[in-house]
Amino acid sequence: EIDPREELVKQLLEYKIYKYTGKLGHANGLAYHNKKLLIAPCANYVTVLDMGAKGRRTRIESPVRISGITYYEGEKYIVLANHKNERCRFYVISMKDKVIQESTFVVENTKFADDFTVSQDISYHDGNLYLIMCTTDKKRSSILQIPYKGETGVVKPDLAYLSSKDGGEYESLAFTK
């Protein structure tokens, strides 16, 4: 059995996707599912590279700046809107409709970490959404665990992993099976 990560690298090299790097934007978040690589470039769109179609590139326009993305379920992805110093807003992308819906839910992180105000990236795994936040001086980071089963409105984290003093800035997060 081929490791999915090895398959992705093989496809990237085979289709010479690296030729497009100057046009993809700042890849602040990445998600890969069903031979599609979605890139959240910290702009008002998401770039989709279809590996099954030799790297054909499309864009999904967004009413807000997208700074994080993760696969959710079926043909759906969750995206993180780039909002500083307020509640983090999340939207759902349906690849079927190629539309970013209105704000689906927001996360209040004040229960665990009032000083972590800069959102970095997200990852969904086993019924939980993980949100990386850092302080404005980027000296400390936190990873918030948010139970998420598709609800709308305000959701709250139930667990936080906090870096030590001067622990640095965490920018990305991934899970293995």
Predicted confidence (pLDDT) per residue in 6-39, tens digit: 766 666 666 544 444 446 666 788 888 888 888 8
* Nearest of 130, 26, 24, 119 to residue 72 by alpha carbon: 130
Can you give the pLDDT at residue 107? 79
Express each pLDDT in 150-162 by its tens digit.
888 888 888 778 7
Residue 129: per-residue pLDDT: 92
pLDDT computed for residue 22 by the predictor: 47
Residue 30, SS3 per DSSP: strand
% the chain with pLDDT above 70: 75
Residue 142 has pLDDT above 60, yes or no: yes
Kindly provide the residue ranges of all beta strands, DSSP E only, lying in the chain, ordered along the sequence.
29-33, 36-40, 43-50, 56-73, 76-81, 88-94, 99-100, 105-107, 118-125, 128-134, 141-147, 153-155, 159-162
pLDDT of residue 1: 54
For the chain, the average pLDDT equals 77
- With b meaning 16 or more CB within 10 Å and e meaning fewer, what string describes 121-157? bbbbeeebbbbbbbbeeeebbbbbbbebeeeeeebeb
Q: What is the predicted pLDDT for the residue at 21?
A: 47
pLDDT, position 128: 92
* Residue length of the chain: 177
Mean pLDDT of 75-99: 76
Provide the pLDDT for residue 82: 66
pLDDT (tens digit, 9 = 90+) per residue, 96-118?
A: 777 776 668 887 754 455 677 77
Question: Residue 17's pLDDT is what?
Answer: 46
Looking at residue 11, its pLDDT comes to 62
Predicted TM-score of the model (pTM) = 0.78
| DSSP code of residue 149 | S
124 pLDDT exceeds 90?
Answer: yes
